[in-house]
């Protein structure tokens, strides 16, 4: 192993330890490769139709994701993480953006 490769690995390990100790924040957003869309929707207690309408997806996307025929892209997974964490805040931001767009039109 080259010295340069070793140094990069060591730097990553030091950063991981600092993050684990709470001394640093991750440099990159972690977006999991898999996300449980059905679980997020079920937690909210709403239908596929209502979920798609509330958060800007198509019903087709939701069905494809929940049936395992497709996976959300990285950006969609990040958005779904935010919805899972605070759905009311997401709804409010979308409502405000819609209102602002309608007023501007």
What is the number of structural domains in the chain? 2
Task: Write the CB contacts of 18 (distance below 8 Å, at least 6 apart in sequence).
Answer: 24
90 and 51 within one domain: yes
43 and 64 within one domain: yes
Query: For 4-40, what is each residue's pLDDT tens digit?
Result: 777 777 787 788 888 888 888 877 778 888 999 999 9
Residue 59's nearest CA partner among 50, 46, 71 is 50
**Domain around 5:** 1-30
Task: Write the CB contacts of 59 (distance below 8 Å, at least 6 apart in sequence).
Answer: 48, 49, 52
Q: What is the domain-level CATH number for residue 73?
A: 1.10.260.40
100 and 69 within one domain: yes
48 and 25 within one domain: no
Compute the distance between CA of residue 54 and CA of residue 105 in angstroms, rounded to an integer. 21
Compute the distance between CA of residue 12 and CA of residue 6 in angstroms, rounded to an integer. 10
Tokens of 86: 């605070």
85 and 62 within one domain: yes
Query: For 42-90, what is each residue's pLDDT tens digit?
Result: 999 999 999 999 999 999 999 999 999 999 998 999 999 999 999 999 9
64 and 19 within one domain: no
66 and 16 within one domain: no
- Return the DSSP state at 28: S
22 and 4 within one domain: yes
């Amino acid at each position: 192993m080259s010295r340069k490769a070793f140094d990069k690995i060591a730097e990553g390990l030091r950063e991981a330890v600092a993050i684990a100790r709470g001394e640093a924040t991750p440099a990159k957003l972690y977006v999991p490769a898999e996300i449980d869309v059905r679980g997020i929707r079920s937690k909210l207690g709403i239908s596929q139709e209502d979920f798609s309408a509330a958060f800007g997806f198509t019903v087709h996307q939701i069905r494809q994701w929940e049936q395992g025929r497709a996976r959300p892209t990285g950006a969609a997974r990040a958005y779904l993480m935010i919805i899972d964490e605070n759905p009311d805040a997401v709804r409010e931001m979308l409502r405000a953006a819609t209102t602002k767009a309608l007023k501007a039109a």
